[in-house]
Amino acid sequence: MSKLYNVAIAGATGAVGIEMIKTLENRKFPIKNLTLLASSRSAGKKLSYNGENITIKELTKDSFEGIDIALFSAGGSISEEFAQFAVKEGAIVIDNSSAFRMDKDVPLVVPEVNPEDAFKHNGIIANPNCSTIIMLVAVAPLHKAKNLKRLVASTYQATSGAGATGMQELEDQTKQILDGDDINPQAFAHRIAFNLIPHIDVFKDNGYTKEEMKMTHETRKMLHHPDLKVSCTCVRVPVMRAHSESLNLEFLEDITPAEAREILNNAKGVIVVDNPEAKQYPMPVDAAGKDDVLVGRIRQDDSRDDKKGLDIFVSGDQILKGAALNAVQIAELLVK
C-alpha cells in the first residue's frame, strides 16, 4: 500500500485554497487526513472534499502537529508568521505567496521547468508568481534547446489574479455600466469593465511595478540565468479567468518557428494551438479550466536580420497552473 500523507491548506476559503482542494481531489493525491485552515471568521464553516464535509479550523501556531505537507495560500504576511511553525513540526511548506520566493535558501519551483530544485529545500518551497509560471512553462523548453538571451513580456492578466473580489468587481461593473449606474472601483485602481489598466501592484523607483520585477527576478532564479535580460509590462484586462502573455524571445542560437513548434509539442504542460488560417490560437476563454498552458502565434521576429528571434503568445489558467495546480504538482514531486 502506498503511503498516505496528512495535508493542511492554510487559506482554504480563498479562490486558490478552494482550487487546491479540488485539485487534490481530482488528481487523487494520497491523503490520509486533510486539515483546512483559515481565519477565525471562517472557522466552523465546512468545505467538501471527496464527498466529505470538512470543518474549517482557525489557523494558529499550533495547527500543524502531525502535518506532512502544508499548502499556504493566505497571503505573504500570514506565510511569514505561520510557515515557521509548520516547519518546526516537520511539515514541508509549499507557499503560494511572494514571502519566500527570492530567499536564496528557498527553492522556487515549476515542476516542468526546474523539478530538481524542489529537493534542495530546508522545509519551505515557494510557488512562483502566476504570470511567471505560465510564461516559463512555454519558455523553459525553448531556452533549454536554444539558450535564451533576452525576453520581453507583455501580460494580459485576468481579474482572477486579484482573487474573488477582483472577479466580482468585473461582473458588478459590467452590469453597472450596461444599466447606466455609477461605478466605484474597489479592487482595482480604476474601473476594469470595458477598460484595461497597465498597473499591477505598486510602482518601484525604476518605473516598473512590483509585479513586473517579480517576473524578472523569478525567471532569472528558476532558469539559473542571472544575466538574462528581461523586461515586462503587466496589464490587468477585463477577463474573468486565465492570463495571457505576448512574448518576444531572443536566443543565442538560431531557431525557426517549425523548430519551436516541435520543441513545444514535446514539452510537458504545453498544448500548441497555432493554426492562424483556421483562426486557432491561444485565448483565455479556452485556457480557463485547463491544466496546460496554450502556446501559439509562433513566428519569426521580423524586426531582426537573423533567425535568433521569436514571437509567441500564451494563455494559462491563473488559478490552476498559475497557483493551485503548480503547488499540488510540487507536492506530487516530493511524494514520488
Q: Do 284 and 163 have their domain in common?
A: yes
- Over 80: is that where the pLDDT of 57 sits? yes
Q: pLDDT-derived band of residue 37, with 50, 70 and 90 as boundaries? A: very high
How many domains does the structure of the chain reveal?
2
Domain of residue 182, residue span:
132-318
Q: pLDDT-derived band of residue 304, with 50, 70 and 90 as boundaries? A: very high
* CATH, residue 277: 3.30.360.10
Per-residue pLDDT of 43-52, as tens digits, reads 999 999 999 9
Q: Do 30 and 150 have their domain in common?
A: no
Identify the bridge partners of residue 71 per DSSP, sorted by sequence position: 9, 94
**pLDDT for res 163:** 86
Q: Do 200 and 107 have their domain in common?
A: no
Q: Do 175 and 272 have their domain in common?
A: yes
**Most distant CA pair in the chain: distance in Å?**
64
Q: pLDDT-derived band of residue 336, with 50, 70 and 90 as boundaries? A: confident
Collect all residues with Cβ–Cβ distance below 8 Å to 223 and sequence separation of at least 6.
113, 114, 136, 140, 143, 148
Q: Do 106 and 145 have their domain in common?
A: no
- Over 70: is that where the pLDDT of 1 sits? no
Q: Do 246 and 307 have their domain in common?
A: yes
What sign does the dihedral 113-167-97-40 (CA atoms) show? negative
**pLDDT for res 228:** 98
- Any idea what DSSP says for residue 21? H
Q: What average pLDDT does the chain have?
A: 97
* CATH, residue 85: 3.40.50.720
Mean pLDDT to the nearest integer, 60-83: 97
- Over 80: is that where the pLDDT of 232 sits? yes
Collect all residues with Cβ–Cβ distance below 8 Å to 274 and sequence separation of at least 6.
261, 280, 281, 295, 296, 297, 298
Long-range CB pairs of 166-173, under 8 A, 24+ apart, other chains included? 166/192, 167/15, 167/240, 167/241, 170/238, 170/240, 171/240
Q: Do 203 and 73 have their domain in common?
A: no
Q: Do 248 and 277 have their domain in common?
A: yes
Active site residue 130: yes
Q: Do 172 and 123 have their domain in common?
A: no
Catalytic pick among 121, 130, 143, 234? 130
Q: Do 142 and 281 have their domain in common?
A: yes
Q: pLDDT-derived band of residue 285, with 50, 70 and 90 as boundaries? A: very high
Cβ 293 vs Cβ 247: under 8 Å: no
Q: Which amino acid is at 31?
A: I
**pLDDT for res 231:** 98
Per-residue pLDDT of 124-150, as tens digits, reads 999 999 999 999 999 999 999 999 999
Q: Do 27 and 99 have their domain in common?
A: yes
Per-residue pLDDT of 183-206, as tens digits, reads 999 999 999 999 999 999 999 999
Which pTM does this prediction carry? 0.95
Q: Do 69 and 170 have their domain in common?
A: no
Collect all residues with Cβ–Cβ distance below 8 Å to 40 and sequence separation of at least 6.
58
Residue tagged 496554450 (cell numbers): 294
